[in-house]
Amino acid sequence: MLPTIALVGRPNVGKSTLFNRLTKTRDALVADFPGLTRDRHYGRGVVGDRPYLVVDTGGFEPAADTGILVEMARQTLQAVDEADAIIFLVDGRQGITAQDKVIADRLRRTGRSVLLAVNKSEGMNRTIAAAEFYELGLGEPYAISSAHGEGVRDLINLALADFPPEPEAADDEDLPPKIAIVGRPNVGKSTLVNALLGEERVIAFDMPGTTRDSIHIDFERDGKQYTLVDTAGVRRRGKVFEAIEKFSVIKTLQAIEDANVVVLVLDAQDTITEQDGSLAAFVLETGRALVVAINKWDGLKEEQRDQVKKDIDRKLHFLTYAKFHYLSALKGQGLPPLMKSVDAAYAAAMSKLSTPKLTRVLEAAVQQHQPPVGGAIRPKLRYAHQGGKNPPIIVIHGNHVTKIPASYRRYLEGFFRKAFELTGTPLVIQFKQGANPFADKS
């Protein structure tokens, strides 16, 4: 599982700026569940070759006892409870406040690893900027600038220091495919799991947030073994009316990272939301094979179905590699084609691609359409080999490959995908510059 880092602090200390820098995007997953007064933002960051999850919380007002500030504080404490490490941001220009002291005291009692980041320290002497914050009793303060990136990389490396890199995954071809069922609350994830299992193994309840934690279920269907991951798991029946914010997005993101194939469940009777798109984008970013299940299809009229398909084409247009299935989990309709696509996506994600065949396909692609000239030189592509799987990675060696535009990369991706019938999985094309044998000769 990926380590999770929560960003905590008073309002306006730069948490969102740091979040955007860590995730390198402004498009964040948002926990827009009914009943929440203030959303938490979730994203994926990478430092070096180490991925991690990061949570941006609302401004923490621990002393508040009414209104929206109470809900924001509750959300922050939930994020702290889910996180492996905490970065506590303070304002280096404003100095210590009474609120900072209250937050520091709260964080000390959590038992979590806490790093104290003194933000907005650009242009200041770092030692002087950080000095007064020793008073908070959280160890050494680290002066950073979220806006300019100063000290951020070192800070994240420190946050991840207690979490060694995960070992290289063993060849898991003999293990059952791991299928994560993901989607917004109340779209029918648990109903779909029960339909696939043929029994009520997880609670299906008509209220968003019934499922609380990710659970793994081994099962057999049509003579094949699978492991299903229902996100985010089971809550006891007596607890289904607890606060909805306890639904854990982090468990869902970790399940996606850990899966071989993701089934994204959408609600045909609801609009395709920004969160649906963000979750789909996260699956694509992690390189996981994907099948999209549009649930509750049986309750729509023909004109409504046409509108749903148009909505999906417009909002999920980037999922060109995924198969879409329209089904009713409650009635068990459409499940065999769905599982057929899951099998095909898994097979594509785990494909072994031989170097000779890859090189022949590359030669055919270049013969049909050569790389465009970059400057005065046309890139020359020599051979290709497989660099990994889940998702498949194709490494292409050649000269002047830095001049190859993104459009040609997409062309090659489509060519390889068609040649090897890679349906349902992302395909990563990497270029590697060939060494010049005459570079060291006069």
Q: Any binding-site annotation on 332?
A: no
pLDDT surpasses 70 at 268: yes
- pLDDT tens for each residue of 174-216: 688 999 999 888 888 888 988 888 865 544 444 444 344 456 7
9 is in an annotated binding site: yes
pLDDT, residue 342, reads 96
Residue 439 lies in a domain: no
Q: Are residues 296 and 386 in the same domain?
A: no
Instruction: Check whether 374 is labelled as a binding-site residue.
Output: no
Is residue 58 annotated as involved in ligand binding? yes
Shared-domain flag, residues 309 and 415: no
Indicate if 200 and 315 belong to the same structural domain.
Answer: yes
69 residue type, one letter: L
**Is residue 297 a known part of a binding site?**
yes
The reply to whether 16 sits in an annotated binding site is yes
120 is in an annotated binding site: yes
Residues 6+ apart with CB under 8 A from 383: 355, 358, 359, 362, 396, 397
CATH number, residue 387: 3.30.300.20
The predicted structure's pLDDT at residue 439: 44
Domain termination site, one of 314, 348, 382: 348
- Same domain flag for 187 and 238: yes
Please provide residue 145's backbone torsions phi and psi, each rounded to the nearest 5 degrees: -135, 110
Tell whether 402 is covered by a domain: yes
For 129-154, how does the pLDDT look when each residue is reduced to its tens digit (9 = 90+)? 899 999 999 999 999 999 899 999 99
- H-helix or E-strand containing 53? strand 50-56
Show Cβ contacts of residue 245 under 8 Å, excluding neighbours closer than 6 positions: 31, 33, 35, 36, 74, 75, 78
For residues 2-17, average pLDDT: 87
Residue 15 marked ligand-binding: yes
Q: Are residues 274 and 230 in the same domain?
A: yes
Q: Give me the mean pLDDT over the 221-239 stretch.
A: 63
Say whether 371 counts as a known binding-site residue: no
Residue 319 has pLDDT above 80, yes or no: yes
Which 3 state secondary structure label does DSSP give 216? strand
Residue 232 labeled ligand binder: yes
Last residue of a domain, one of 299, 325, 348: 348
For residues 164-180, average pLDDT:
70
Q: Tokens 């309002």 belong to which residue?
A: 11
Q: Answer yes or no: do 114 and 210 share one domain.
A: no
- Of 141, 143, 136, 149, nearest in space to 108 by CA: 136
Residues 113, 189, single domain; the answer is no
**CATH number (domain holding residue 95):** 3.40.50.300
Does any domain span residue 64?
A: yes
> Is the predicted pLDDT of residue 233 greater than 70, yes or no?
no
Lowest pLDDT segment from 59-73, 263-277, 365-379: 59-73
Give every CB contact of residue 174 below 8 A, 6+ residues apart in sequence: none
Indicate if 342 and 193 belong to the same structural domain. yes
Q: Is 421 annotated as contributing to ligand binding?
A: no
- Asked if the structure places residue 441 within a domain, the reply is no
| pLDDT > 90 in the chain, percent | 45
The reply to whether 309 sits in an annotated binding site is no
Say if 361 falls within a structural domain: yes
| Residue 56 in marked binding region | yes
* pLDDT exceeds cutoff 90 at 294: yes
119 annotated among ligand-binding-site residues: yes
**Domain-ending residue, one of 126, 159, 192:** 159
The answer for 140, left when phi > 0, alpha when psi is -120 to 50, beta otherwise, is beta
pTM for the structure as a whole: 0.73
Three-state secondary structure string covering 369-418 = CCCCCECCECCEEEEEEEEECCCCEEEEEEECHHHCCHHHHHHHHHHHHH
Name the helix (H) or strand (E) containing 47. Answer: strand 41-47
276 among the known binding-site residues? no
Q: Does 20 appear as a known binding residue?
A: no
Annotation-wise, does 11 bind a ligand? yes
Annotated binding-site residue? 8: no
231 is in an annotated binding site: yes
Answer whether residue 36 shows pLDDT above 80.
no
Say if 87 falls within a structural domain: yes
Known binding residue 121? Answer is yes
Residues 324 and 429 in one domain: no
Give the tokens for residue 304.
């409504």
Regarding whether 137 and 93 lie in a shared domain, the answer is yes
What pLDDT does 71 receive? 58
Average pLDDT over residues 280-309: 92
The response to whether 189 counts as a known ligand-binding position is yes
Q: Is 17 annotated as a binding residue?
A: no
Mean pLDDT over 279-308 rounds to 92
**Domain annotation covers residue 173:** no
- 292 and 369 housed in the same domain: no
Task: Tell whether residue 299 is among the known ligand binding residues.
Answer: no
Consult the annotation and say whether 387 binds a ligand: no
Q: Where is pLDDT greater, at 417 or 16?
A: 417
- Degrees (nearest 5) of the Cα angle 29, 34, 39? 40
- How far is Cα 256 from Cα 334, in angstroms, rounded to an integer? 23
- Average pLDDT of the chain to the nearest whole number: 82
Phi and psi of 358, rounded to 5°?
-60, -40
**Sign of the CA dihedral running 282, 285, 286, 292:** positive
Give the pLDDT of residue 221: 86
| Total of domains in the chain | 3
230 a known binding residue? yes
Predicted confidence at residue 260, as pLDDT, reads 93
SS3 156: helix
pLDDT given at position 110: 83
When pLDDT is averaged across residues 90-116 and rounded to a whole number, the result is 90
User: 266 and 394: one domain?
Assistant: no
For residue 287, give its domain range: 178-348
Has 296 been labeled as part of a binding site?
A: yes
**442 appears as a binding residue in the annotation:** no
pLDDT of residue 15: 87
The pLDDT of residue 438: 41
Residue 236 vs residues 203, 212, 240, 365: alpha-carbon distances, Å: 8, 9, 7, 56
Is 248 known as a binding-site position?
Answer: no
* Residues β-bridged to residue 91: 119
Q: What is the pLDDT of residue 249?
A: 73
Mind spelling out the 3-state secondary structure of 125-142? Answer: CHHHHHHHHHHHCCCCEE
